[in-house]
Chains A and B, each alone.
Chain A
């Protein structure tokens, strides 16, 4: 039997048309009834992409990785809600996924809220990831401290933050007992605060120092008193160096200047009625001179007053209280006798205070001046007499 060529063509066209029709009707069925397999028909193709601003953006979904993620049991349309009711061949640009649909306001990200919506405010998925979010305890999770640095640097790439951080004790001490410490998110608790309350934040790891600080004049100031220093005031933020590092503001090479920054300022010290000549009197002391010329063993402010547990001398718990002075001096001078309390440490020679030092100094000033003037006067007379007698020889 020979087929008529026209009939042949007709049948072919009919078959083609039918199949196309079937495909179309199926595609038009919409996502309402579609499952993830439907989406993956297209999105499992590694080459699938779209172009945004001339850049290729992959639309490929690794279904295995997705199933291993915390959202693995979810349907695509659970998050991509705007696909509901759309045909499989959906519109090209989907609305951003709103995590807050499920994750209500459990984690309002107040820290990034200051960034304008159109100025690149990060969305949840910028930090958490999108399709492959892992459980928090998974070592590969973005929420692991180790991941925070590459994550934060996507936006916070400023050299002024990260270069000092990488050179700091925290940047160097990546691991402690096998765990990553002092990463970005340890100090900057995400979602809650942009600039952390440093004593609380630092105290989570540095508990001993926090306790000492909390008991100190600085740490126990009323909450409204913003003039008192916190951890970062002295230690700095990102570029914290070890006390032994002479570049550190807390090192013996620099700490006197650090304390003097506030304690030499009459405006700052006024409300507390504290003297503002402490640096001057320290520099006049032997300790101060040793320190100035680089003897790093010499006592600085913190050697006697403590770094964290600074208390006024009137406080019986203070390291510079008369009752504790012998012990404090004894840290360097173990032989220190009990009479160390009979006198001042920061000498202010005047007729009223440290009068002995004042009067002895005053008497010597006159004595030395008179002696030198007498010497010069005698020498002048001697020289003049030699000239007058023209002897030019011995007197």
Chain B
């Protein structure tokens, strides 16, 4: 496996390359900008919305910044698509992320454990079902937001092809998907990356790209076992 090459010194494995970490940072920044400049439009009557819009320098500036964020996110998505399909690293990551039967079994196993029906939790590989779900949720959400966002950006051109009501539905979808994405990041991602016991203040691998041997054995035992079986133990 290619990630074997990412093995780092001093008891760490390299989980994310610099390229991947930069992709995540661009995603984080563009997503934050889009949420900040977009949610006030979903809640136009909220005083918070008024505060944000004024803070950004008015409505026209809000709209422009939202489009800046949109272009950044779209560019990232195009790049990530090419990266996942054409680079060796990207292809192996995509393979590791593809949902499998094991993920469903893992989820049931975990639920059993939550209800004290299993003594231990499931053993995860490189990506567990939560991470896979989040990855494809971001992918699905981005595609939906980009497509509906384009419809809202160019409504005149849209009604050359599509009926007016399709643009109106696009606005509903854009608005609800935005709320879902925001809440998913706020609740789900914050919990798993930051607030989960043992992770506070955060899982540092998004910045360092590294994961310790201990964490590797804990969170990704199958990947750890596979890497060590291949004789690719990390150095202390």
> A residues near B, CB below 8 A?
283, 286, 288-290, 292-295, 329-330, 333-345, 347, 354, 356-357, 360-361, 364-365, 367-368, 371-372, 375-376, 379, 381-386, 388, 391-395
A360 to B174 Cα, complex, angstroms: 11
Cβ-based interface call for B11 (8 A) = no
B65 to A: closest C-beta gap in Å: 13
> B residues near A, CB below 8 A?
41, 44, 50, 53, 58-60, 62-63, 111, 113-116, 121, 152, 154-169, 171-173, 176-177, 179-180, 183-184, 187-188, 191, 196-199, 215, 218-219
Across-interface contacts of A361 in B (CB, < 8 A): 172, 176
Known: A286-B171, A293-B59, A392-B198. A342 touches B164 (CB 8 A): yes
B161 A337 Cβ-Cβ under 8 A = yes
A255 to B42 Cα, complex, angstroms: 23
A254 to B63 Cα, complex, angstroms: 22
Main secondary structure of the interface of A (DSSP, over half): helix
A-B contact pairs, 7 of them (CB 8 A): A283-B44, A288-B44, A293-B62, A333-B156, A343-B168, A354-B165, A393-B198
Across-interface contacts of A294 in B (CB, < 8 A): 58-59
Residue A392 contacts which of B172, B187, B197 (CB distance < 8 angstroms)?
A: B197
A289 to B40 Cα, complex, angstroms: 10
Can you list the 6 inter-chain pairs with the closest CB atoms, starting with the nearest? A337-B160, A343-B164, A342-B163, A364-B176, A343-B165, A293-B59
Across-interface contacts of B164 in A (CB, < 8 A): 339-345
Across-interface contacts of B219 in A (CB, < 8 A): 394
A283 to B43 Cα, complex, angstroms: 11
A51 to B: closest C-beta gap in Å: 66
Residue of B nearest to A362 (CB): B172
B217 to A: closest C-beta gap in Å: 9
A360 B172 Cβ-Cβ under 8 A = yes
A285 to B: closest C-beta gap in Å: 9
Residue of B nearest to A297 (CB): B60
A335 B160 Cβ-Cβ under 8 A = yes
Residue B184 contacts which of A360, A375, A382, A394 (CB distance < 8 angstroms)?
A: A375
A386 to B197 Cα, complex, angstroms: 7
Known: A333-B155, A368-B180, A393-B197. A292 touches B173 (CB 8 A): no
